[in-house]
Amino acid sequence: MSDALLNLLENPRVWRGRQPTDVSGGSLAVYPTGYARLDCHLPGGGWPRHALTEILLEHYGRGELKLLMPALARLSSAGETSLGDGQDNNRADHYGCSDEKEGWIAWIAPPFQPYPPALLQWGINLAHVLIVHARQGVEALWAAEQALSSGNCAAVLVWSDALDNRASRRLQLAAEKGQSLAIAFRPLEAEGQASAAALRLVLTAGEKGTDVRILKSRGGRPITVPDMIHDYAPVSAPDYER
Amino acid sequence: MLPRDTLPARRDGQTPSVREPRPRLKAPAGRAPVPAQQSLSLTSSPEHAEPLPVARIRPRQLWLCLHFPLLPLEALNNTRNGAVPAAVFENRQGNRRVLLANAAAERLGITLGLSINAGLALAPSLQLEERNTDKENRVLERLAGWAERFTSIVSLELPDLLLLEIRGSLRLFGDIEALRRQVENGLQEQGFQPSMAVAPTVLGSIWLARAGGNVSIVDGTNLAGALGALPLRCLEWPESIHESLTGMGIHCIADCLRLPRQGFARRFGAGRLLQLDRALGRLPDPRRSYRAPERFSEECELPEEQSDSELLLEVCMHLLSNLEYFLTTRQIEVRHVQFSFFHLRSSATHLSLGCRQAGRKKEQWFELLAIRFDRLALPEPVISIRLRSSRGQALQPEEGRLFRTRDRGYSRSIAHLTERLSARMGDDCVYGVTTAAEHRPQYAWTTAEAEPQASRLTPCAAIPNPQAHSPLLLADIRRTSSLLLRRPLWMLPEPLPLTIREGNPEYSGPLKLLDGPERLETGWWDGNGIARDYYVAVNPKGIHLWIYRNRNKEASWHLHGIFG
């Protein structure tokens, strides 16, 4: 490419559809999901950091936790270890947070009890698990916003039926402020609603397992990844290590 | 060798007149108490061969006495404002008479002893309030706590005196004058007008302060002269004694000191003689020094019933800043505080706040208060607010970073978040988790405090290798994942009985068993024994479930978990 073209492309005002960028103009920071097949369809190759991700599903138990576990396992044992690849590392240093992040994972208003022995099997550091039994609805959103913007939590999972476009915007801003990964679980009916989330996934029953449909992804395109999750046990080591 | 009886005369003769006071001050401390028959007179008159032991006081002491003559007025909030005529009255056998009036009221002719009806006739706008000695004592105690910033020895003398031993503080504050100014300014800021006096003895300083103050006597030799000139009123002796002394033509302390000791003691009581001796420093005058309470407790009365939450929060903030000062000076912090909102008719509303991490900062408590206050239903307007703290614990110094790269958010620990969350949701609703060494699934975990240092992981039956519990070894867990017992990520709080159709359990359709059984049994030691066969099942919608069959009862199936 000619220098003139490169200069033009470096101009932050030029938006490139397939080039994942975040608001500040740098390349999109992500946490790898731990599922290589899914990563290659997600912009940047993983869960968008410091942003809201929505997971829409019909029934609990569709594999929504399994999908998150590898990334959460890495986040929860983070703190002393670096996250992601080298590029991300620099980025973390740039924000000065790489050594201060405590790796807490907040579960806000979970529909059932998250079962610690199983979490441990998935590699979650239980010392960094915070469970908040908020009443459903607005209180759960309030708690999620507090947890996100406090900056202590590496990830915040929230179950709330009161989530709407305005609330998603608030959570998105809180995630940016606290530099946390925000995951909201919503019913399938929310598919038609607008949302400020950076990434929206729909989990549906597939032929052999659970299909993951990317409903919206900032800097990516909608696509369906079939049979993403097909077992109930922890993923095997090679896939996990990625 | 000289004969014995010449010794006193010789000693008198040896004392050079220019340096007369010095030997008295340096008189041996072990000298016997003053004989009762001696005259009280201090002046070494020629009739007395033996010089009087003046310097029994330790010259190390120097007392600053704060006398609050206006305390009944100053203790009441409403009468603080000097521009409004205000007076305090006392109820004596149904006679309500003015005890004290502020300057504005005095200008209108309100004087001591006036009946309040007469007072109101003179000044219809007069604000009248009954004297409240309880409150005066509380105020004085608070001031004693405040005065501890000047010296470690503060003594409380009810009803209206504070005594500060300042000899030890002089070097820090410069000199007496500088210290006095600081004390005076500090008190004036709080709305008090004390009269102050400094003397080497406690009673001496008290009497001087009562006489009007503004006297500093550092040298013990000047004390007798200064005290001698004081009128007898300063002693606050009973009226009968006062009258009989006046009848004898005795009007000041110096007159009193000229009386023969024995007769004085017989007529007016040995206690009064003791007082005079102590005031002059002939006898020691030990005082109980004030000890600050271990817990903070302060009440703030509102001028009128108030229901405006912003105003109430402002008062709470004021109390919290007093709490912070209290805790900071003692280098302690607390984990619980309690606000009590008092109402005129209904019983008080209490609001307890707890912190995971002990704290003393007012902002920290105020944030918790604000979260809870929103949802607090006050049945009535509030007339007064009280703040109490729990017992304190030693201050944990904050961990600081040499280079703080970013300030927002990260400077606060997870405890700060859990405090705020549990302030709104309740303590039981915010928790961390840990595993327990137990094979029964429902007991295999417990809640734990969510705190930064937490890394307790007890052995867990679901993971065979006990070494694999540290986060660093989690890779091992993954490698041995084929050995793991299947456990669901979602657990139901209570097992859900499943309907059975044609011998098969159902949950949104017939279940297909994929894996099992895993037989879990017994628990005789706590009476909650189980006998279950656990299976992994899948329903027609493709949801993986963890179900069990109770082996005690025939064909009883339950849903226990969901493989999220």
Place B10 in a pLDDT band, splitting at 50, 70 and 90: very low
Interface confidence (ipTM) of the complex:
0.81
Residue B558 in any domain: the answer is yes
How open is the CA angle B415-B416-B417, to the nearest 5 degrees?
A: 90
CB-based contacts of B114, cutoff 8 Å, min separation 6: B97, B98, B122
B79, B70 in Cβ contact below 8 A?
no
The answer on B445 and B355 residing in a single domain is no
Residue B159, preceding peptide bond in cis (omega within 30° of 0): yes
Closest CA in chain B for residue A60: B564
Alpha-carbon distance of A179 to B405, in angstroms, equals: 15
Backbone dihedral region for residue B49 (phi beyond 0: left; psi -120 to 50: alpha; all else: beta): alpha
pLDDT exceeds 50 at position A238: no
The reported pLDDT for the residue numbered B82 is 64
* DSSP label of A27: B
Alpha-carbon distance of B150 to B165, in angstroms, equals: 9
Closest CA in chain B for residue A150: B409
Alpha-carbon distance of B551 to B93, in angstroms, equals: 85
Residue B309 in any domain: the answer is yes
Q: What is the pLDDT of residues A47-78, one digit of tens each?
A: 888 889 999 988 888 888 888 888 888 888 76
> Between B254 and B12, where is the model more confident?
B254
> Between B57 and B428, where is the model more confident?
B428
Burial class (CB in 10 A: 0-12, 13-18, 19+), B295: middle
Alpha-carbon distance of A86 to A80, in angstroms, equals: 15
Residue A226 near chain B (CB below 8 Å): no
The answer on B225 and B103 residing in a single domain is no
Taking the CA of residue A178 as centre, how many other CA atoms within 13 Å lie in the half-sphere pointing to its CB?
31
Contacts of B409 in chain A (CB under 8 A): 149-152, 177-179
Q: Tokens standing for B396? A: 């944990």
By residue range, what is the domain housing residue B527? Answer: 490-562
Alpha-carbon distance of B127 to B204, in angstroms, equals: 36
The answer on B473 and B347 residing in a single domain is no
Residue B40 in any domain: the answer is no
Q: Tokens standing for B352? A: 């307890």
Residue A67 near chain B (CB below 8 Å): no
Pick from A60, A102, A147: which is nearest to B564 by CB? A60
Residue B507's SS3 state is coil
A118, B488 in Cβ contact below 8 A?
yes
Q: Residue B175: which CATH number?
A: 3.30.70
Could you give the domains of chain A? 27-241 (3.40.50.300)
Residue A130 near chain B (CB below 8 Å): yes
Residue B416 in any domain: the answer is no
Q: Identify which of B88, B464, B154 has the alpha carbon closest to the alpha carbon of residue B289.
A: B154
Residue B516 near chain A (CB below 8 Å): no
CB-based contacts of A11, cutoff 8 Å, min separation 6: none
The answer on B274 and B140 residing in a single domain is yes
Strand-strand pairing, B430-435 and A129-132: antiparallel
The reported pLDDT for the residue numbered B126 is 76
The answer on B82 and B209 residing in a single domain is no
Rg (CA), chain A: 17
Q: Identify which of B544, B539, B537 has the alpha carbon closest to the alpha carbon of residue B563.
A: B544
What strand order describes the sheet that includes B127-130? B95-101, B86-92, B127-130
Place A233 in a pLDDT band, splitting at 50, 70 and 90: low
Contact A118 B462 (CB under 8 A): yes
**Minimal CA separation from B517 to chain A, in Å:** 16
Q: What is the pLDDT of residues B235-294, one digit of tens each?
A: 788 888 888 888 888 888 888 888 888 888 888 888 888 888 888 888 888 888 888 777
3-state secondary structure B73-90: HHCCHHHCCCCCCEEEEE
Contacts of B462 in chain A (CB under 8 A): 117-118, 120-121
Contacts of A95 in chain B (CB under 8 A): 406
Residue B226 in any domain: the answer is yes
Alpha-carbon distance of B482 to B476, in angstroms, equals: 11
> Between B47 and B166, where is the model more confident?
B166
* Side chain identity at residue A29, one-letter code: A
**Minimal CA separation from A16 to chain B, in Å:** 31
Residue B98 near chain A (CB below 8 Å): no
Closest CA in chain A for residue B430: A132
Contact B435 A73 (CB under 8 A): no
The answer on B144 and B258 residing in a single domain is yes
Q: What is the pLDDT of residues B201-225, one digit of tens each?
A: 888 888 888 888 788 888 777 788 8
- Percent of the residues in chain A that have a pLDDT greater than 90, as a whole number: 16
Q: Please, what is the average pLDDT of chain B?
A: 75
The answer on B244 and B150 residing in a single domain is yes
Q: Residue B311: which CATH number?
A: 3.30.1490.100
Q: What is the pLDDT of residues B281-327, one digit of tens each?
A: 888 888 888 887 778 888 888 878 878 888 888 888 888 888 888 88
Q: Please, what is the average pLDDT of chain A?
A: 77
Contacts of A64 in chain B (CB under 8 A): 564
Mean pLDDT of A217-221: 80
Mean pLDDT of A233-239: 45
| B residues 398-457 closer than 8 Å to A (CB) | 405-406, 408-410, 412-414, 416-418, 420-421, 424-425, 428-435, 441, 444-445, 447, 450, 452, 454-457
Task: Please count the helices (runs of H) and the strands (runs of E) in chain B.
Answer: 18, 22
Residue B93 near chain A (CB below 8 Å): no
The answer on B273 and B230 residing in a single domain is yes
**Minimal CA separation from B531 to chain A, in Å:** 20
Mean pLDDT of B457-471: 47
B165, B198 in Cβ contact below 8 A?
no
A173, A52 in Cβ contact below 8 A?
no
Residue B22 in any domain: the answer is no
Taking the CA of residue B144 as centre, how many other CA atoms within 13 Å lie in the half-sphere pointing to its CB?
23
* Number of domains within chain B: 5
The helix (run of H) or strand (run of E) holding residue B182 is helix B176-189
The reported pLDDT for the residue numbered B478 is 52
The answer on B507 and B370 residing in a single domain is no
pLDDT exceeds 60 at position A234: no
The answer on B344 and B327 residing in a single domain is yes
Residue A173 near chain B (CB below 8 Å): no
The answer on B179 and B107 residing in a single domain is no
How open is the CA angle B182-B184-B189, to the nearest 5 degrees?
A: 95
* DSSP label of B192: -
The reported pLDDT for the residue numbered A156 is 93
Full-model pTM: 0.60
The reported pLDDT for the residue numbered B460 is 53
State how far Cα A31 lies from the chain centre: 8
The reported pLDDT for the residue numbered B1 is 42
pLDDT exceeds 90 at position A183: yes
CB-based contacts of A61, cutoff 8 Å, min separation 6: B490, B543, B544, B545, B562, B563, B564
Residue B479 near chain A (CB below 8 Å): yes
Mean pLDDT of A88-97: 38
Q: Identify which of B132, B139, B124 has the alpha carbon closest to the alpha carbon of residue B100.
A: B132
Residue B414 in any domain: the answer is no
Q: What is the pLDDT of residues B100-131, one digit of tens each?
A: 777 777 777 777 777 777 778 777 777 777 78
Mean pLDDT of B137-154: 84
Residue B553 near chain A (CB below 8 Å): no
Among residues B105, B131, B157, the one where a domain terminates is B131
Query: Greatest CA separation found in chain B?
Result: 131
Among residues B131, B160, B177, the one where a domain terminates is B131
Contact B562 A113 (CB under 8 A): no
Among residues B247, B280, B313, the one where a domain terminates is B280
The answer on B276 and B149 residing in a single domain is yes
